[in-house]
Amino acid sequence: MNDIANHHHAIDLDNHDYYINRELSLLQFNLRVLEQAMDEHHPLMERLNFLLIFSSNMDEFFEIRVAGLKNRLETGTGQPGPDGMLAQEILDQIARITHEAVQRQYHILQDILLPALAEEGVHFLRREHWTRRQAEWVKKYFREQVYPVLTPIALDPAHPFPRLVNKSLNFIVPLDGKDAFGRSTGLAIVPAPRSLPRLIRLPEHICENGNDNFIFLSSMIHAHVSDLFPGMSATGCYQFRVTRNADLEVDEDAEDLASALKGELLSRRYGDEVRLEVADNCPRHLVDYLLEQFELTPQDAYEVNGPVNLARMFTSVNRPRLHYAPFTPRIPAAVKKHDSVFDAIDQGDILLHHPFESFAPVVNLLAEAARDPKVLAIKQTLYRTGINSEILDHLETAARNGKEVTAVVELRARFDEESNIEGARRLQEAGAMVVYGVVGYKTHAKMLLVVRRDGDGIKRYAHLGTGNYHTKTTRIYTDYGLMTAEKSLCQDVHKIFQELTGMGKAARLKHLKHSPFTLHPSLIHWIDFETEQAQAGKPARIIAKFNSLTEERIMQALYRASQAGVQIDLIVRGICCLRPGIPGLSENIRVRSIIGRFLEHTRIYHFHHAGEDLLYCSSADWMDRNLFNRVETCFPVNDPLLKQRILREGLDYYLRDNAQAWRLNPDGTYTRLQPAEDETPFLAQQVLLEELTGG
């Protein structure tokens, strides 16, 4: 990159060197998650959890992203992104980085976290450390609980290699001797049933060192594997797991999207193989045998020093100092003062900053609306809600109470399809009108509209958010929600619902921007306006926070703005394909990523706009899919006090963070920021916890 010309006119914004590959950027995000396992700001069990989150993120990365690249390679389809990299080149880089990362992950587990947890009295016992009493207990447990549900499969011409479920735990077992039929096949596969826990807690009375002693199911099976093959002896037992393509291909023209999707969900369990994880003590010839069965290459094999499915290791121990201190999300004073949520909103817009502030006002708005005789209709988008959802309960109640309930349910929210199909069925049975959004576009907008009788007329109340209507994630994701009765804003929300459920031209909106119509052009316009201001020697500034940046025209507009002298700060949690800090191109752009206790999920766009200070919150990231292939909303925050709050809490604090922030370098790697010796550590999430919850 040193040869980049300093002259603005000489810079070709289509140059592949100016963009970071999307998949490699996502991989960098996962590496930042992995590093949280080494961060002593987090209690020990939470550090272990970050290690497991890394595992589950990597599972999805292989199931979706790597599977997609392999598919591109095989079919010769798919266009390279702005970085111009070809599928094979990306796969090679992924393999190189991932093999190193997985080695580091197991090193952190075995050499750092497990010994530190053992010092705290939390033990994950290896077979060689079992006492005689423990070994006897394990034998009894195996006989009674495990043995009856195991199905060993000998490999011979009558028993070909079985089809193994995506990400299931299995063992390959070499055997000596002959079985009852005189067969000596030499190999068997033992799948571990999914119904069994992967970690078994030992009873206190057989442990000398406290009550948090765990044994892996894999150790238990390993210790007793010969019992499965009477008269033969197992000369080894090696765990492995295969990851498959889990991306769904749904026919958009299907008569019934729900049925089409149900059929596809079954195939997700048996998609094409993309990765093999296997115990690092497994003999080479057996690893090669497995690779051959799965039609994978040695590059696809990950040999691990420990359990092959760490994501199943989540467990809790009742030791408060090993976990985050619990906190109680605050209920805003504006809501507390009133018995009715409607009365509270009548007094002025209410801003909710989750997880520091409670999601309860939103749930209570629905609960109240479901029972209030004055309420005529409720309309809501549902992207991820979870199966046991209070939101669904209240919508059902409202429908049964005769309200007009319309739910726009997005069935294709990845990995939540089943619970969404179930939720849609429940709502339909209660008499709600269920719509599956618009064919070809995922409905990702977060909107709720309540229509209520008000004297002789009607009044609308809306909730607009950056996050899902999922009460569990509102405790662990940072998000904003705005509750409002502002007439023209609610009118806009009403128009978008009409657009989603009916047919016709794109709605003409006064205040909201929405994808796939006005959001992308508006963003380009706002960025270009700052560019013009800077060129005219006037103040110009952009600060934006979102999850990912991949859209090429927005990146090019930002590059032009930087060249004109606009100061740009981007707080991007995950993927960022823009390269900051390139002389003559992007030296006025700074990109940081915050990784901490909570998953950063707010989307905030701020433009100086000739002193007007435009401030929008949105459900959309700056990605192609959000701007062109989804229905998204972007709403202004106009109340001066609320605007100031978002500028301070949502942007300023995150730009000041010097302890959980990572700076993006021009080469696509990230550097962890450290407070200088004379600086006090500033952790944005911690400050917000203290300020907003008093916790």
SS3 assignment for 33-62? HHHHHHCCCCCHHHHHHHHHHHHHHHHHHH
Q: Taking 50 as the threshold, does the pLDDT of residue 232 lie above it?
A: yes
DSSP string, 187-234: EEEEEPPTTS-SEEEPPGGG-SS-SEEEEEHHHHHHHTGGGGSTTSEE
Residue 200 has pLDDT above 90, yes or no: yes
| CA distances (Å), origin 77, targets 19, 24, 577 | 21, 20, 22
Pairing of strands 447-454, 212-216: unpaired
Lowest-pLDDT choice from 171-180, 258-267, 294-303, 442-451:
258-267
For residue 451, give the H/E element and its range. strand 447-454
**Residue 6 pLDDT more than 50?**
no
User: Quick one: pLDDT at residue 182?
Assistant: 60
Buried b (16+ CB within 10 A) or exposed e, 527-558: bebbbebbeeeeebbbbbbbbbbbbebbbbbb
Report whether pLDDT(3) > 50.
Answer: no
Q: Give CA–CA dist 412/389, Å, rounded.
A: 18
Q: Across residues 134-150, what is the average pLDDT?
A: 96
DSSP 299: G
- What tens digit of pLDDT does each residue of 26-54 get? 999 999 999 999 999 899 999 999 999 99
What is the token pair recorded at 286?
A: 């057996």
Give the end-to-end CA distance of the chain in Å, rounded to a whole number.
Answer: 47
Q: Calculate mean pLDDT across residues 123-140.
A: 94
Residue 266: per-residue pLDDT? 57
Mean pLDDT of all residues in 362-391: 91
The domains found in the chain, sorted by start residue, are 22-40+43-322 (3.30.1840.10), 333-508 (3.30.870.10), 515-693 (3.30.870.10)
Mean pLDDT of 446-455: 96
Report the pLDDT averaged over residues 619-624: 97
* pLDDT at site 8: 46
Identify the residue with better confidence: 2 or 283.
283
More confident residue, 79 or 308: 308
Give the torsion through C-alpha atoms of 125, 129, 134, 140, to 10 deg.
80
H or E element in which residue 390 lies? helix 390-400
CA–CA–CA angle 517, 522, 525 (5° rounding): 140
Task: Name 2's Cβ contacts closer than 8 Å, sequence gap at least 6.
Answer: none
- Per-residue pLDDT for 251 more than 70? no
- Residue range 189-200: mean pLDDT, rounded: 92
Q: Judge contact between 482 and 464, C-beta under 8 A.
A: yes
Please tell me what DSSP assigns to residue 282: S
Q: What six digits make up the tokens of 510?
A: 């006064």
The per-residue pLDDT for 174 is: 94
As annotated, the active-site residues are 444
Mean local confidence (pLDDT), 681-690 = 96
The predicted structure's pLDDT at residue 5: 37
Mean pLDDT of the chain: 91
- pLDDT for 565 equals 98
pLDDT tens-digit profile of 318-332? 899 999 999 999 999
Helix (H/G/I), strand (E/B), else coil: 408: strand
pLDDT in tens, 496-545: 999 998 877 888 999 999 999 999 999 999 999 999 999 999 999 999 99
Nearest to 187 by CA among 157, 210, 215, 145: 157
Q: What pLDDT sits at residue 413? A: 61
Average pLDDT (128-154) is 94
Residue 109: strand pairing partners: none
Contacts of 311 (CB under 8 A, 6+ apart): 52, 55, 56, 59
CA atoms within 13 Å, Cβ hemisphere of 121: 13
Cα separation, 129 vs 37, in Å, equals: 26
- Asked if pLDDT for residue 414 goes beyond 90, the answer is no
pLDDT surpassing 80 at residue 165: yes
Task: Tell me if 414 is assigned to a ligand binding site.
Answer: yes
pLDDT at 246: 83
638 marked as binding residue: no
Q: Kindly state the average pLDDT of the residues 109-122.
A: 95
Q: How far apart are CA 74 and CA 618, in angstroms?
A: 37
Contact between 247 and 272 under an 8 Å Cβ cutoff? The reply is: no
- Tokens (6 digits) for 331: 């209920």
- Whether residue 264 is predicted with pLDDT greater than 70 in this model: the reply is no
Beta-carbon neighbour count of residue 430 at 10 Å?
18
Residue 415 has pLDDT above 90, yes or no: no
CA distance 397 to 387: 16
Sorted by sequence, the CB contacts under 8 Å of residue 327 that are 6+ apart come out as: 689, 693, 695
Q: What is the pLDDT of residue 482?
A: 98
Rounded Cα distance, 38 and 397, in Å: 47
**Are the CB atoms for 544 and 605 separated by under 8 Å?**
yes
Tell me: pLDDT of 389 over 90. no
CA distance 638 to 617: 11
Query: Is 601 annotated for ligand binding?
Result: yes
- Least confident stretch, 39-43, 250-254, 403-407, 414-418: 250-254
Sign for the pseudo-dihedral over CA of 261, 265, 267, 268: positive
* Cβ–Cβ under 8 Å, residues 88 and 71: no
> Looking at residue 320, what is its pLDDT?
92
Taking residues 359-368, report their average pLDDT.
97
Is the per-residue pLDDT at 442 higher than 90? no
Q: What is the pLDDT of residue 248?
A: 59
Q: Name the residue among 570, 619, 620, 611 with its Cα closest to residue 592.
A: 570
Reading phi first (left if > 0) and then psi (alpha if -120 to 50, else beta), residue 694 is in left
